[in-house]
C-alpha cells in the first residue's frame, strides 16, 4: 500500500511552512520517511532526506543559502534536486561532489500546499487534474492538523452516509442557532438517514449518490467522490464552496489531515472569518503546532451539559466530532475482524476493495492508471433538492451533469 501511495502526487506541507526564499527548513514526516523541506534562493521548494549522506548529520540544522541547503557538520551542500553542489572539507571535493547525492523528491507549490512525488522517477505522473490547483489564492483555504490513527479509519468517515444524522446533529429544533448556520444550513437538515442509490467506479476512484428525505418534505440527492488514494470531497462548506479532505499517512499510526475549501469565486469574508476564528469548521490548534487544542488526551473537552441539552455529542468543532470516533477505534489501527458492517457501509466496503485491488495489482507489476487520468480528476460535489413525488431517474438526470460541468448550478455538500 505504501508503494501504491508513492505513485501519486501528494500534499506534504502547507506552503506557509516555508514562507520565502532561503527561509528556515521545516521537518516533514510522510509515508514513514523523515524529510526536510526548504525553499531555495529562487523560491523553488525542495524535499530531501533528513540526514546528510556524508555521516548522517541532521539536515534540519542546515544553512539555507545561495541556492542550496548546507550541512553544518562538514559543509556539504545540496540543491533542490539532491545534487551535491559543494563539498568543501576534502581536497577531492570538486570532483567527488559529482558522485554524491542526497535523496530528493520532486516538489511543486499549488493551492497553498507543497506537493511531492515520492515514487520511482520513471513512473512519475503529471499533476492530478483538479480544477482548483491553479485557482487564485483568494479562492482557496487550507489548514492541516495531526491525527493519532491510521489514515484509513479517519478517511472512511467521509463516505459514511448515515453518520451525519446522528453525530453532527443537535437536539430538537436548533436550526436557528447562528453558531451552526455555516453557509446558511443548519445541522438538523434531514429527518431520516441517507442511503446510497448509486455507487460507480470512475477512472480515479468512486462516485456515489445518496438520497435523503428532508424535514421539509422534499428529497435531496447528493453526489460525492472518493479519489485514489486519499482524496475525499465531503465536508461542511458554505454555498458555492466545495470541499476536499486529504489524509496523508505520517506512518501507520498517525496522519496529517489537510482540510481544503475552494470556490470558483473568491471565498466570502464571512466564511473566512468562520474558518479562521469560529471554532466550528476548523479546530483551534495549540500554538506552534498542528495538534488540536481539543484532542484525545483531554477527551476533546466534551461538554456533557451541552450533550444533554443541545448537541448530540457535546463536542464543539465539526471535524473533531468525527475525529473523536476515529482516533481510538480499538487502537490507532482498527482491528477490522471485529467489525459488523451493514448495508449503510456499502461505500466503505467498495473503497477498501478498490485499494486492496490496486495494491495487489502493483505487487504483480500492473501500474495504477488513476495518476494518469487527466481531466477525470475534475469532478466536484453536487446536490439537487426535488419534490418527493419526482421519480428517482428524473432527479438523477438533473444531478449527473452537475458533477463535471463547472458552469452548472453550484451547491455545497455536507458529509
Residue 43: give its domain's CATH number: 2.102.10.10
Residues 255 and 149 in one domain: yes
- Whether 59 and 36 have beta carbons less than 8 Å apart is answered as yes
Choose the final residue of a domain: 68, 100, 121: 121
Residues 199 and 68 in one domain: no
**pTM of the predicted protein model:** 0.91
pLDDT the model gives residue 348: 93
pLDDT the model gives residue 236: 75
- Whether 214 and 220 have beta carbons less than 8 Å apart is answered as yes
Residues 64 and 103 in one domain: yes
**Residue 306 domain flag:** yes
* pLDDT one digit per residue (tens) for the chain, 415 residues: 999 999 999 999 999 999 999 999 999 999 999 999 999 999 999 999 999 999 999 999 999 999 999 999 999 999 999 999 999 999 999 999 999 999 999 999 999 999 999 999 999 999 999 999 999 999 999 999 999 999 999 999 888 878 887 888 888 755 544 444 443 344 444 445 667 788 999 999 999 998 888 878 889 898 999 999 999 998 777 788 999 999 999 999 999 999 999 999 999 999 999 999 999 999 999 999 999 999 999 999 999 999 998 889 999 999 999 999 999 888 899 899 999 998 888 999 999 999 999 999 999 999 999 999 999 999 988 888 999 889 989 988 888 888 876 555 444 333 3
Q: Grid coordinates standing for 327?
A: 482516533
**Residue 221 domain flag:** yes
Tally of structural domains, the chain: 2
Residues 302 and 164 in one domain: yes
Torsion of CA 158, 164, 168, 173, to 10 degrees: 160
Residues 167 and 79 in one domain: no
- Whether 128 and 377 have beta carbons less than 8 Å apart is answered as yes
The C-alpha atoms of residue 281 and residue 147 are separated, in whole angstroms, by 16
**Residue 408 domain flag:** no
> Counting every residue, how long is the chain?
415
The C-alpha atoms of residue 406 and residue 408 are separated, in whole angstroms, by 6
Residues 320 and 365 in one domain: yes
**Residue 242 domain flag:** yes
Whichever domain contains 188, its CATH number is: 3.90.380
Radius of gyration, alpha carbons of the chain: 23
Structural domain for 299, as ranges: 131-403
Residues 155 and 100 in one domain: no
Choose the final residue of a domain: 90, 121, 152: 121
The C-alpha atoms of residue 47 and residue 38 are separated, in whole angstroms, by 7
Choose the final residue of a domain: 121, 145, 173: 121
Residues 206 and 116 in one domain: no
Residues 221 and 361 in one domain: yes
Amino acid at each position: 500500500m505504501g508503494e501504491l501511495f508513492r505513485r501519486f502526487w501528494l500534499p506534504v506541507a502547507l506552503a506557509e511552512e516555508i514562507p520565502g526564499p532561503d527561509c528556515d527548513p521545516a521537518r516533514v514526516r510522510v509515508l514513514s520517511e523523515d524529510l526536510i523541506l526548504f525553499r531555495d534562493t529562487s523560491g523553488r521548494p525542495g524535499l530531501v532526506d533528513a540526514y546528510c549522506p556524508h555521516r548522517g548529520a541532521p539536515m534540519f540544522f542546515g544553512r539555507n543559502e545561495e541556492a542550496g541547503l548546507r550541512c553544518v557538520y562538514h559543509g556539504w551542500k545540496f540543491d533542490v534536486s539532491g545534487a551535491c553542489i559543494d563539498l568543501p572539507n576534502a581536497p577531492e571535493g570538486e570532483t567527488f561532489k559529482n558522485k554524491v547525492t542526497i535523496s530528493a523528491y520532486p516538489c511543486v507549490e499549488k493551492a497553498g500546499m507543497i506537493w511531492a512525488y515520492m515514487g520511482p522517477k520513471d513512473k512519475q505522473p503529471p499533476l492530478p487534474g483538479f480544477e482548483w490547483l491553479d485557482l487564485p489564492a483568494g479562492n482557496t483555504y487550507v489548514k492541516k492538523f495531526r491525527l493519532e490513527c491510521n489514515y484509513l479509519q479517519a478517511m472512511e468517515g467521509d463516505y459514511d452516509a448515515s453518520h451525519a444524522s446522528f453525530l453532527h446533529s443537535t437536539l430538537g429544533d436548533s436550526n436557528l442557532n447562528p453558531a451552526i448556520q455555516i453557509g446558511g444550513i443548519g445541522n438538523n437538515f434531514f429527518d431520516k438517514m441517507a442511503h446510497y442509490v448509486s455507487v460507480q467506479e470512475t477512472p480515479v476512484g468512486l462516485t456515489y449518490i445518496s438520497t435523503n428525505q428532508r424535514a421539509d418534505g422534499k428529497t435531496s440527492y447528493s453526489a460525492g467522490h472518493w479519489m485514489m488514494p486519499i482524496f475525499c470531497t465531503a465536508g461542511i462548506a458554505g454555498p458555492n464552496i466545495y470541499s476536499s479532505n486529504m489524509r496523508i499517512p505520517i506512518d501507520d499510526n498517525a496522519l496529517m489531515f489537510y482540510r481544503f475549501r475552494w470556490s470558483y469565486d473568491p471565498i466570502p469574508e464571512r466564511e473566512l472569518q468562520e474558518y479562521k476564528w469560529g471554532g466550528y469548521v476548523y479546530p483551534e490548534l495549540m500554538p506552534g503546532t498542528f495538534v488540536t487544542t481539543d484532542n484525545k488526551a483531554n477527551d476533546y473537552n466534551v461538554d456533557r451539559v451541552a450533550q444533554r441539552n443541545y448537541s448530540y455529542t457535546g463536542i464543539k468543532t465539526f471535524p473533531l466530532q468525527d475525529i473523536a470516533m476515529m482516533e481510538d477505534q480499538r487502537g490507532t489501527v482498527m482491528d477490522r475482524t471485529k467489525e459488523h458492517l451493514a448495508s449503510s457501509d456499502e461505500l466503505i466496503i467498495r473503497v477498501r476493495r478498490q485499494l486492496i485491488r490496486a495494491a495487489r495489482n502493483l505487487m504483480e507489476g500492473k501500474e495504477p492508471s488513476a495518476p494518469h487520468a487527466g481531466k477525470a480528476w475534475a469532478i466536484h460535489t453536487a446536490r439537487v433538492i426535488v419534490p418527493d413525488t419526482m421519480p428517482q431517474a428524473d432527479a438523477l438526470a438533473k444531478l449527473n451533469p452537475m458533477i463535471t460541468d463547472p458552469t452548472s448550478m453550484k451547491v455545497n455538500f455536507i458529509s
